[in-house]
Amino acid sequence: MSNTTFYGRVVRDIECRYTSQNIAIARFSIAVNRKYKSEDKKADFFNITAFGKKAETLSQYFRQGSRIVVYCHPQQEQYTKQDGTKVDTVSFILDEFDFVDTRAEGGITANQNPNPAPEPTPQGEDWMSVPDNLDDESLPFN
């Protein structure tokens, strides 16, 4: 299988729709800057389709201009125009994605998302994860 990774910006707000079987589908485009030695900046635009929970998450947290990393695989499609001309296209099916923007950099803010994810607990040498439902008696030390 051929896999592709893109780093770019969402072109328009992502809209999530549902099939008759209640499967979420989000179709969106991202703009990916080309690298040039000159100062002329150009971008390529790629169409991406996401399904299920990923489609719902994308439409909830990403807006026009949001930076995103997508991991996807290509899908070739063919259709016939009204004049009888066959057209081949390549689109990409989303496998995974990563957030790039923080809230301060233009990501979703708390008032745009009424149910924000809890902030992660710091992990490191001085911290360890402890379940919330532990009582003092079940700890291995006192």
Q: What is the CATH number of the domain that holds 16?
A: 2.40.50.140
Q: Tell which phi-psi region holds residue 65, choosing left (phi > 0), alpha (psi between -120 and 50) or beta.
A: left
Predicted pLDDT of residue 40: 74
User: Residue 28 carries which side chain, given as an amino acid letter?
Assistant: F
* pLDDT, tens only, 9-60: 999 999 999 999 999 999 999 999 988 777 777 899 999 999 999 999 999 9
Predicted pLDDT of residue 28: 95
Assess whether pLDDT exceeds 70 at residue 74. Answer: yes
User: Residue 100 carries which side chain, given as an amino acid letter?
Assistant: V
User: Which residues contact residue 66 at a Cβ distance below 8 angstroms, ignoring those fewer than 6 apart?
Assistant: 9, 10, 100, 101, 106, 107
Predicted pLDDT of residue 111: 42
Note the pTM of the prediction, 2 decimals. 0.67
Structure-token match 């296209």, residue found: 89
H helical segments located in the chain: 52-61
**Residue 134 confidence class, pLDDT cut points 50, 70, 90:** low
For residue 19, the number of C-alpha atoms closer than 13 Å in the C-beta half-sphere is: 10
Q: What gap in Å lies between CA 136 and CA 104, rounded to an integer?
A: 39
Considering the domain boundaries, does residue 142 fall inside one? no
Q: How many domains does the chain have?
A: 1
Considering the domain boundaries, does residue 98 fall inside one? yes
Beta pairing class for 43-51 and 67-80: unpaired
* pLDDT, tens only, 108-131: 544 454 444 445 545 555 555 556
Residue 72 belongs to what domain range? Answer: 4-131
Considering the domain boundaries, does residue 9 fall inside one? yes
